[in-house]
Amino acid sequence: MSSPSRLFEPISIGSMEVKNRIAMAPMATDYAESDGTISERLIDYLAARARGGVGLITSEMTTIDEFSPYIPRTVALWDEKFIPGFRKLTDAVHAHGAKLIPQIAHPGPESLSPFFHQKQPVGPSPVMCFVTKHISRELDRDEIETIIEQFGEAARRAREGGCDGMELHAAHSYMLVGSFLSPLRNKRADEYGGDLDGRLRMPLRVIERIRERAGKDFPIILRISGDYVIEGGTGIEEAQYIAPILEQAGIAAFHVSAGMYPDYSSRIIPPTGTPLCPNAGLARAVKDVVEVPVMVVGRINQVRVAEEVLERGDADMVVMGRALLAEPEFANKARAGRLEDIAPCIGCGIGCVAGRLEGRDMTCVINPWSGREGETALVPAAKPRKVMVIGAGPAGMEAARVAAQRGHRVTLFERASKTGGLFNLAAVPPHKQELTRVTKYLTTQLAKAEVELRLNTEVTESIVAEEKPDVAIIATGGAPLVPDVPGIDGPKVTTYQEVLAGRVPIMPGKVLIIGGGVAGCETAEFMFQQGDYPLVGHTSVTIIEMRDAIATDMSPEGRVVLMDRLRRKGIEIMVRTRVVEFLEDGVLVERDGQQEVIRGIERIVLCIGICPVDELSERIADKVGEVHVIGDAKEARRLCEAISEGRETAMAI
Ligand SMILES: Cc1cc2nc3c(=O)[nH]c(=O)nc-3n(C[C@H](O)[C@H](O)[C@H](O)COP(=O)(O)O)c2cc1C
């Protein structure tokens, strides 16, 4: 395919010349040093995206205030001592021809100050942060003056650190500037509140001071929500009202997002199954009222989508976040027309958003080396070996690909007639079809790495004896977990794998889903849709979950969207409920110590997880010098762990 044209046209943002139309979105990583200094890790991570061809990198939220961190290790610019770190970062990014701007902000109500400095967060008015649950204190006028000066000084330091401009965060009714602008958070009666002009006063004064301290030619990009997409928030009319005023005040470009916290909405970090580039229309509306460039963000994860936004004239630049975690080389590969080599972001949020919230490292499911760029070069194998990988699910495919890329001779065996394993079923429920992109990508890369793929082949001990590999990697996945509960063999009981594989007819009637993890919830949605025949009868679905809540194994954004769909479909949810016995046409359950019989059930579907399947490792241990068991075959977990374990194992052989 010919290289996409408009994406690679240069663009000027004020005094800054950017070589193409691809920008990286700010993403808080927690990779900084604990005092807020830019770390080598952060430099390696951002330089990898610059090397990958991105024109403009927006580095993560950078605090202006010593006592107001946003995450445990918040990048900082509240003192001169942070300038050398920025100098190193900007040198590394500039070496690849990219530009770098930090997102300079005060976290305001979202500050972690109560935890790190025993200080109450501040805001325009007393409002609650939905993460910390702390209420902010209303700032007085003197404090506002101090903060305005802190913004100016931080911007000056950014410039001295070699930054090409900065981003000011005023979107999402979030952090301090966004909170002043928001009618939902700014309840002040003085000149900084009241009407829209009052709410704009603080942002305008910040912009003015930044220009005084950092220079009028230091480009400021303003991140705004084109629409809060929430009752009581503001819509595009307000964005169109404020944008020309802000442009007049010196804003060099607008970066249009949408949504507001705490509605972890599908518009801020749009999850799997939601529309691609949902903010294009909003960007277009802002572009209609300003002369300066307009950038758009939100689930732009394919070259085609990025190109269409520019072609339609909805925006002048596309901003990508998670897609660049999945594929640091996105821009270079797009330019070379190597679209099939772009590792796809599926919007799952499991590696990135949930990674940090769950106290793991922020990374990416598809690219578990995101954030470890300095330590994960693909080193050729010291001695090429014959490697047998058994099982072509994500863990096996990744292990085979990376081992082959390192120079090993790799054969990948799969019992089924296609690659993907159980992961193929994860793409069956509504809103999940894009998961097929992962299997397609991994399968394409196998061929490119010259892995020999043998489908329809059940590996036995004798096949292993014939092959005589130096290394065997067992990636045989898992099987449905079936609990030892009376009545489990009943005719109405089946597993979600059987349902999603299409081996169980779905008729109108009552369905019980046992297990409210993400698989159970998505199977509920699938059955609701498949079994509903308006002229014959309807399907009603109930999810039974032992714990306090369902779908806790998802990213917050994905969970909000899924829960909303379940609610709209009328799917009933019973938490803290355990099945005691499966009956002929129902179940006996125990909820909060009380037993209850549920009858008249058409189908009971087990979604309580999977158990590892490994029938080979022990049997071949004396035939093969090195045997590794990976992915679900070792322990049932998520895609994240499967891919990461495949890669790590391939690196270790
Ligand atoms: C892990 C993570 C951290 C983020 N941190 C920030 C941040 O520090 N500041 C900000 O304005 N947006 C932040 N965002 C939002 C992104 O900038 C971006 O708007 C969002 O991810 C949607 O773009 P995408 O679909 O291309 O990922 C973050 C997103 C993710 C996934």
pLDDT for position 152? 98
Q: Is the pLDDT of residue 1 over 50?
A: no
Q: Which residue's CA is minimally distant from atom 6 of ligand 1?
A: 27
> What does the pLDDT average to over 57-63?
98
Task: Read off the pLDDT band of 109 (50, 70, 90).
Answer: very high
Lowest-confidence segment of 23-37, 146-160, 529-543 by average pLDDT = 529-543
Read off the amino acid at residue 362.
Answer: M
Task: Read off the pLDDT band of 356 (50, 70, 90).
Answer: confident
Q: Is the pLDDT of residue 2 over 60?
A: no
Q: Work out the number of other CB atoms within 10 angstroms of the CB of residue 138.
A: 15
Cis check: omega of the bond before 84, within 30 degrees of 0: no
Q: Which residue's CA is minimally distant from atom 23 of ligand 1?
A: 298
Q: Is the pLDDT of residue 29 over 80?
A: yes
Per-residue model confidence as pLDDT tens digits over 592-629: 889 999 999 999 999 999 999 999 999 999 999 999 99
Q: Element (H or E) spanning 88, and its range? A: helix 83-94
Task: Read off the pLDDT band of 265 (50, 70, 90).
Answer: low
pLDDT for position 602? 93
Lowest-confidence segment of 306-310, 395-399, 529-533, 537-541 by average pLDDT = 529-533
Instruction: Tell me, in angstroms, the distance from the centre of ligand 1 to residue 471's CA.
Output: 41
Instruction: Tell me, in angstroms, the distance from the centre of ligand 1 to residue 39's CA.
Output: 20
Residues 6+ apart with CB under 8 A from 317: 11, 18, 21, 22, 23, 56, 253, 293, 294, 295, 296, 310
> What does the pLDDT average to over 227-256?
92
| Residue 297 CB–ligand 1 contact under 6 Å | yes
| Residue 323 CB–ligand 1 contact under 6 Å | yes
| Residue 61 CB–ligand 1 contact under 6 Å | yes
| β 471-474/386-390 pair status | parallel
CA angle (48, 28, 564) in 5-degree steps: 115
Task: Read off the pLDDT band of 533 (50, 70, 90).
Answer: confident
> What does the pLDDT average to over 282-308?
97
Q: Is the pLDDT of residue 550 over 80?
A: yes
Q: Is the pLDDT of residue 274 over 60?
A: yes
Q: What is the mean pLDDT of the chain?
A: 95
> What does the pLDDT average to over 444-473?
97
Q: Which residues are catalytic?
A: 174
Tokens 């594989």 sit at which residue? 501
Per-residue model confidence as pLDDT tens digits over 157-184: 999 999 999 999 999 999 999 999 999 9
Per-residue model confidence as pLDDT tens digits over 202-220: 999 999 999 999 999 999 9
* Three-state secondary structure of 11-66: EEECCEEECCCEEECCCCCCCCCCCCCCCHHHHHHHHHHHHCCCCEEEEEEEECCC
DSSP tag of 379: P
pLDDT for position 264? 60
Q: Is the pLDDT of residue 495 over 90?
A: yes
| Residue 295 CB–ligand 1 contact under 6 Å | no
Question: Tokens standing for 575?
Answer: 């938490």
| Residue 388 CB–ligand 1 contact under 6 Å | no
> What does the pLDDT average to over 352-379?
90
Q: Which residue's CA is minimally distant from atom 20 of ligand 1?
A: 269
Instruction: Tell me, in angstroms, the distance from the centre of ligand 1 to residue 278's CA.
Output: 15
SS3 329: coil
pLDDT for position 314? 98
Lowest-confidence segment of 2-11, 93-102, 285-294 by average pLDDT = 2-11
| Ligand 1 atom with the shortest distance to the CA of 58 | 17
**Could you give the percent of the chain with pLDDT greater than 70?**
99
| Residue 542 CB–ligand 1 contact under 6 Å | no
Per-residue model confidence as pLDDT tens digits over 85-100: 999 999 999 999 999 9
pLDDT for position 229? 87
Q: Is the pLDDT of residue 420 over 90?
A: yes
